[in-house]
Structure 1
Amino acid sequence: MNFSLPQLRTVNVTRYVTPLREGGSLPAIAEADDGFLYVLKFRGAGQGSRALIAELIGGEIARALGLKVPEIVFANLDEAFGRTEPDEEIQDLLKASVGLNLALHYLSGAITFDPAITRLDAKPASQIVWLDCLLMNVDRTPRNTNMLTWHKELWLIDHGAALYFHHSWDNWREQAKRPFILVKDHVLLPGATELETVDAEFKAILTPERIKAIVALVPDEWLTGETTFSSPHEYREAYAEFLLTRIAHSEIFIKEAQHAAGILI
């Protein structure tokens, strides 16, 4: 299947607008030199570069599958940027995040998706559940759906908690074949009745070439300072192998999701 290689723009952060005090990562709304506002994710936050890697890989896989995700860009933060910030906690975060960070286009006026108000059809619900099982995304629950309605369309945000295996690379090959137990808490699971149909469609899209092209977007500087592998190239190879193994054994997480949905009925 022919496809265009994914590319990300790079912007320079020019103005810190306001923090978004959600969880421990302290993302912020910031303005860049292209004049647009972004939700800026900092490499100096609690989970470090791993959260940015998960955000990048998860978001671009979702986009490749035809799901709507705000544009993801690399965001440069100058070392002088935080010197005038009066909040000491934010100043420390900015100092620790000098260099390349990640940002998502800010969807002004978007509202949080509420499953009690808006019912999603079985096909898109199954697509999102399949994606989150692949990525092991723990952060799409009724308490925090991480989905927005913008211009009457559903947008996926915040994949930073996905791919949690990379916080400890122990037994990562075995983890690639494990079911996603926490799918039981997925906000869309009750309506995800077309997982097998979606599985066939998505596996045809997520070819090895496409997965490797997405993983290749991860910058070298986000893949240093650890000792599991000896080079950024080896880390990328491991991410690609993990994802491709998981895709090849998708029946494992599909059966888990169907089992969990059966319990809910």
Structure 2
Amino acid sequence: MNSLTFQQQEPRGNAANWREHGLALGMAAALHLGLGVVLFNLSSGTPMAPAVAAVIKTQLLSLPAPVQQPALATPVEPAPAPAPAPVTKAAKVEQADLAFKRVEQQRQQQARRIERERQQRLRDEQVRHEREQQRQAQQEQQRLAAAQRAENQRQAAADAEAQAAASRQYLPIAKEAPDYPARALDRRIEGECTVAYTVNAQGRVENPQVVGNCHPLFVKPSLAAARTFRYQPRVVDGQAVAVANVKNTFTYRIQ
């Protein structure tokens, strides 16, 4: 019998090992089959048929690469928390002082804020009061101005009415200018002379007198001219009455 010797080789890889193993197994199976046929023929005494060449078919198989399992992470235990330091009596006193100071600061800040708000309210109230006083003063000035205008208008209307009434009461009918004094004319003297008199119920001038400053040369002609005036007498309740203190000013100008 023939002997088969197998040599063990160093493993090279999973796929290469499978191919080599498959090839070796196929060859071994074919040799054993051929050897069995030969022994069977020899034992039966029958002539051996010509040996048929054995054909070995091999097929390469590609196996997937083995999946590597991820390494499990080793859980990390948390570090133990440091034990709190014991609080001493001095630390407690210091913390209490700090807390008291914070409360006192907050109280002072609130007091200052309240005082600022109060001062601001006082300033706002003062501004409003001053504005109100100004507004009232302006209104009072406007009222006084309107009242003064109304009074002026009333007085003007009354004066106009009085003048109109007076002119209706003793309207002049005839007035003649006085003669210019010859001496004043020669001396180139000019001036004015006012005469006051009474208009009686007949419209004639009574008791004429010079009032104010009057040049002596103008007194006589002024009084003489006033006596010649004639008026429409004043009538009250249908009766003619005298009017006193009627004035007339004579002007002397050289042309």
TM-score range (shorter-chain normalised) is under 0.3
TM-score normalised by structure 2 residue count: 0.15
More helix by share: 2
Q: Higher RCO, 1 or 2 (CA under 8 Å, sep at least 6)?
A: 1
